[in-house]
Amino acid sequence: MKFSSQQLRVVSLLLVIYYLILAWMFNRTGYEHPERLFYAEKLKLLFEYSENTLLTLGTTFPTTSFLINVIFAPFGYLFAPVASSIVLMSFLFFFMAKDINGSGLPARTMIISLMALFLLHPQFIFAATSGRNIAAIMLFTYLLFRSLFFYYKNQTTYYLSLASLYLGALIFSEIKFLWLILGFLPFVVLVSIEGIKTAKGEPVVFQYYQALNNRSLRRKLVNRTVSLYSILNLLPLAAVFLFRVLNQSHAGDPTYFLSSQYSNWRVTGVSTITNILERGSGDNLSKQTQIIFPLFTIFLAPIFISAMILFKGKLYELLTIFTPLIFTSIVLIDIQFYLTTEYFVIIPILSFVALNFASGVKLNRFMSSVIILVGTGLSLLGGLYYFKETSDFDEQRFVKMITDTPSWIAKKKDSEEKILADYIGSVKSAERPVLIDDAAAYGVVAHLPNLEGLVMPLQKNFITVIENPALSVEYILIAKRHNLKHNFTAMNAYNMLVMRDRLNLRSNRVFETENWIVYYIR
């Protein structure tokens, strides 16, 4: 049974409504992911702040997600990241469902499996409702590999060029995907042999031996390999180079978008392995090794195995599917942060790429349906297991929130950032300024009704103010010692003590939360 495009559009729209309801209920619990708040604050600075607008627009990273959020900014800065995630997930569903209609597998079974993942899989729900950049990563990963398989099918550079565009969008969603350029090298080398007149049907090793020992074939092989690799990777590499130039011109540092806490949420927002171990919650870290991680990933998404069982393709097609596992193994060589949801959730996405573009089906339709449904069910259990075992602090907060179902419809709770913003908003004014460092307090700034009466790092006089704040401001927001962002901001407990001793600064605590203190200074 096939589904019409109109039917798929209706289901995609219903999916948007479903995610909106979930996001609304989750928001009532006070849950707000830091990445969502980071985007919201940057949107507020972009549209309401007069200083360094180009710096905010040109260096905020992940760039792809931020620019998409700009489109949704009219719906509210805090809502924009969630809205963009929901819409991107809806687009992803539509493209995947549309491709299913063209596959040789039972469409009804595939659509049911797909809907089960989008409706029930906790990682899919997290991607849609948290406001993180996971939805963008999932969408562009699917479009990238989809284009590659279209290229295998049609052998036209049009699809390879599309793949290059999607690879660029993926890299600017998460810079670590730049390593895919290295991960794609094996299959590019294999694909190159297809256009050369060698002994077809013979093992690939024999074909390469023949090509390398023939001057004409060797030249064709080299030219084709370089051409394919350039078409696929030249645009993303050029984009990264130009972005580094942009950062150099605006910020004085070509890697500003990676290293600055003012530009990249990941600098302060991702759980480091050191912090995880300090909190004694690193039970899951052992699974993030080069050897165990691919097996662990497949365990979390058994539908990947289903795809491999049903996939009857060529060597380079199989190698393409395994590229993400090669990529994550490369990333793990020099890992600093705990790998979070986005590195796992792309596996079921790629499974559907393999299923949709399988060149043949090894089993009958009944067995195919059984394998797909069982694989989907086990993938759902894998998603639950992942969140049960996660060591990421923000994902742990999500688990705590989503399992406390009564809080979804109970009286609305405010987040810590919202509570702080309400207080600061009540005391700040142009005559009574507040000194605040949005390197750590971006969530507070995102919740403020306006930016009047704030002294922040984007202002040219910020350094002068922190040298002697009593001359310019009346309030200071300080991060407590146990605040995870304590070391990333100049406005922390340690520097407050330094200012008291050096400047003989007199201060009173006027407001306090779990991680922050507001001081009135005289």
Work out the pLDDT band at 312, boundaries 50, 70, 90. low
Is the Cβ–Cβ distance between 368 and 310 less than 8 Å?
yes
- Average pLDDT value for residue range 236-255: 94
- Average pLDDT value for residue range 284-302: 81
pLDDT digit string (tens) for 171-209?
999 999 999 988 888 778 777 776 666 656 666 666 666
Q: Over 60: is that where the pLDDT of 362 sits?
A: no
Amino acid in position 234: L
Is 411 domain-assigned?
no
What does the H/E/C string look like for 456-492? Answer: CCCCCCHHHHHHCHHHCCCEEEEECCCCCCHHHCCCE
Q: Over 60: is that where the pLDDT of 272 sits?
A: yes
Most confident of 122-126, 279-283, 327-331, 357-361: 122-126
Give the per-residue pLDDT at 199: 58
Give the per-residue pLDDT at 377: 94
Q: Over 80: is that where the pLDDT of 468 sits?
A: yes
Same domain? 137 vs 207? yes
3-state percent breakdown (helix, strand, coil) of the chain, nearest 5? 70, 5, 25
Is 208 domain-assigned?
yes
Q: Which two tokens stand for residue 152?
A: 């295998």
Is 409 domain-assigned?
no
Q: Over 70: is that where the pLDDT of 465 sits?
A: yes
pLDDT digit string (tens) for 9-29?
999 999 999 999 999 999 999
Tell me the percentage of the chain whose pLDDT exceeds 90: 56
Side-chain half-sphere exposure of 224, counting CA atoms within 13 A: 19
pTM of the entire predicted model: 0.94
Same domain? 384 vs 421? no
Same domain? 496 vs 374? no
Is 30 domain-assigned?
yes
d(C-alpha 196, C-alpha 207), whole Å: 9
pLDDT digit string (tens) for 50-105?
888 888 989 999 999 999 999 999 999 999 999 999 999 999 999 999 998 877 77
Same domain? 24 vs 170? yes
What does the DSSP 8-state code read for residue 337? Answer: B
Work out the pLDDT band at 513, boundaries 50, 70, 90. very high
Give the per-residue pLDDT at 360: 53
Is the Cβ–Cβ distance between 401 and 31 less than 8 Å?
yes
Give the per-residue pLDDT at 324: 86
Give the per-residue pLDDT at 50: 83
Same domain? 383 vs 470? no
Q: Write down the mean pLDDT value for the chain.
A: 88
Q: Which residue has the higher pLDDT, 167 or 407?
A: 167
Judge residue 300's burial from the number of C-beta atoms within 10 Å of its C-beta, 0-12 exposed, 13-18 middle, 19 or more buried.
buried
Tell me the percentage of the chain whose pLDDT exceeds 70: 93
Q: Over 90: is that where the pLDDT of 271 sits?
A: no
Same domain? 158 vs 208? yes
pLDDT digit string (tens) for 82-95?
999 999 999 999 99
Give the per-residue pLDDT at 347: 93
d(C-alpha 147, C-alpha 161), whole Å: 9
Same domain? 60 vs 18? yes
Taking the CB of residue 373, how many other CB atoms lie within 10 A of it? Answer: 17
Q: Report the chain's terminal Cα–Cα distance, integer Å.
A: 75
Work out the pLDDT band at 296, boundaries 50, 70, 90. confident
Give the per-residue pLDDT at 503: 86
Give the per-residue pLDDT at 359: 56
d(C-alpha 476, C-alpha 434), whole Å: 6
**What's the Cα-to-Cα distance from 384 to each of 280, 301, 399, rounded to whole Å?**
22, 11, 10
Is 283 domain-assigned?
yes
Write down which residue in 403, 432, 463 finishes a domain.
403
Q: Over 60: is that where the pLDDT of 231 sits?
A: yes
Residue 305 neighbours by CB under 8 Å, 6+ apart: 298, 375
What does the H/E/C string look like for 149-193? Answer: HHHHHHCCHHHHHHHHHHHHHHHCCCHHHHHHHHHCHHHHHHHHH
pLDDT digit string (tens) for 219-229?
777 787 888 88
Is 299 domain-assigned?
yes
Same domain? 181 vs 288? yes
Look-up of token digits 């023949």: 210
Give the per-residue pLDDT at 155: 80
CA-based R_g, the chain, Å: 25
What are φ and ψ of residue 315, in 5° steps? Answer: -60, -45
What are φ and ψ of residue 435, in 5° steps? Answer: -90, 120
Q: Which strand (E) or helix (H) includes residue 70?
A: helix 63-72
Domain total of the chain: 2
Domain range enclosing 460: 416-521
What does the DSSP 8-state code read for residue 117? Answer: H
Is the Cβ–Cβ distance between 3 and 111 less than 8 Å?
yes
Write down which residue in 371, 403, 435 finishes a domain.
403
Most confident of 209-223, 288-302, 384-398: 384-398
d(C-alpha 175, C-alpha 365), whole Å: 41
What does the DSSP 8-state code read for residue 484? Answer: T
Is 363 domain-assigned?
yes
Same domain? 513 vs 384? no
Work out the pLDDT band at 278, boundaries 50, 70, 90. confident
Write down which residue in 346, 370, 403 finishes a domain.
403
Is 410 domain-assigned?
no
Helical H runs in 252-272? Answer: 256-259, 266-269
Is the Cβ–Cβ distance between 499 and 511 less than 8 Å?
no
Nearest CA among 95, 158, 161, 139 for reference residue 356? 95
Give the per-residue pLDDT at 280: 65
Residue 443 neighbours by CB under 8 Å, 6+ apart: 32, 34, 37, 38, 41, 415, 416, 417
Same domain? 231 vs 288? yes
Same domain? 324 vs 461? no
Same domain? 203 vs 316? yes
